[in-house]
Amino acid sequence: MTEGDLQAVVPDGDAAAVAAAGARRAGVMIRQLHDLSSMQEVVDLFVDVWQTRGMDPPINRDLLRALAHAGGYVAAAYVDDEVAGASVGLFAANGALHSHISGVRAGLQGRSLGYALKLDQRAWCLNRGIGAITWTFDPLVRRNAWFNLSKLGATCEEYLPDFYGPLLDGVNAGDSSDRLFARWDLLCARTLAATSGMSPALDAELLRSAGACLLVENVDGRPVVQSPDVAAGSTLLVGTPIDAIDLRGRDLTLASSWRHAVRSALGPAIDDGYRVTGFTRSGYYVLTPTDGPNL
C-alpha cells in the first residue's frame, strides 16, 4: 500500500488526533528525540525497567543516536518534564517498522502510558506510508499478551524459541527467552475496532462450549497439557501463568514448566497453520486457522 493509499483511508490528522487524545488521557507529552542528553535519559529508564544496573544497558545511547539520525522512531513520554516511558523502532525489510524496545517507569504503569506511546508510533508510521508495526514479546506475560492482542488488535504468526539466548537482566534471568512475533496492521478492522475501544471480549469458557480445543490448562497455578482430537478449523486455547515475572522469582522450576508447556502448544499450532488472534481476560491465548476468520 502506498502512502497515498494509506492517507486516503486514514488521513494523517485522524491518526494524529487519536494519538493526541491517548496522550491527554495518560497525562503525558510525547516527543521525538534527537539530542544526546534526552537519549541518555531513555537509556537510564530502560536500565531501571529491566534492572540491568551494573550490566550492559538494554540499548545504548550511541545506537539511539544512530537510529534517530537515520530516521527511525525514537520517542519518549514525559510527565512533568521527566521521562516516564519510551519506545524505539527501526525500519524492517518487509516495509514495516520493527518496535525493538519499549518501557514504562515502575509506578506509572496502569495509566495507559504504553498505549499512548503505541498510538503515537502508529500515527508516526501512517504519516510516512508505513502500514504495519512488528515486535516481539514474552508469551508467558499475561499483561503484555492482553495489551498486544486485545488492546491493540495485533496478531502473531511466528513463535521464536529462546530468541535472544540467555538473558541476565532482573526481569528475564533464569528463563529461556522465547518470544511471539507480533504484527500490528495499522488499518485492518481489528486495529480500527481496538483503537476505538470496540474489540470483542473473548471468554474461554464460552469458546470451549462452542467447540474450542484446550491445549494447555491452568489448574491451580500449574500447566496441564491436553492432547485433544483437533478437528479441522477448530479454535484452540492455550493457558498462561497468572504472573510469570513473579513466578520466576519464587519458583523457577514451575516457571520452566510453564515455558515448555506453552512452547509445546503454541509453536506446533502456528507451524500447522494457526495464528494467535486473541487473548481472554482469564489468561488464554485464542488461535484460529490462518485462512479462517479473526476472533
Domains and CATH numbers, the chain: 3-195 (3.40.630.30), 204-289 (no CATH)
| Per-residue tens of pLDDT for the chain, all 295 residues | 343 444 344 444 588 999 999 999 999 999 999 999 999 999 999 999 998 888 889 999 999 999 999 999 999 999 999 999 999 999 998 899 999 999 999 888 888 999 999 999 999 999 999 999 999 999 999 999 999 999 999 999 999 999 998 777 767 777 789 999 999 999 999 999 888 877 788 999 999 999 999 999 999 999 999 988 888 889 999 999 999 999 988 999 999 999 999 999 999 999 999 999 999 999 999 999 987 666 6
Q: Looking at residue 5, what is its pLDDT?
A: 42
For residue 39, count CB atoms less than 10 angstroms from its CB and return exposed for 0-12, middle for 13-18, buried for 19 or more.
buried
Q: Looking at residue 170, what is its pLDDT?
A: 64
Helix axes 36-50, 61-69, angle to 10 degrees: 130
- 239 closest CA partner among 220, 230, 270: 220
Please name the residues in contact with 68: beta carbons below 8 A apart, sequence gap of 6 or more.
Answer: 32, 33, 34, 39, 74
Write out the three cell numbers for 289.
486457522
In angstroms, the CA 164 to CA 169 distance is 12
171-280-153 Cα angle (round to 5): 80
CA distances from 182 to 34, 136, 277 (A): 28, 6, 10
Q: Looking at residue 8, what is its pLDDT?
A: 40
Structural contact between residues 86 and 38, judged by C-beta atoms closer than 8 angstroms: no
For residue 278, the SS3 value is strand
pTM attached to this predicted model:
0.91
- Residues 189-196: contacts with CB under 8 Å, at least 24 apart: 189/294, 190/153, 190/154, 190/155, 190/277, 190/294, 191/152, 191/153, 191/154, 192/153, 193/153, 194/150, 194/151, 194/152, 194/153, 195/18, 195/119, 195/122, 195/152, 195/153
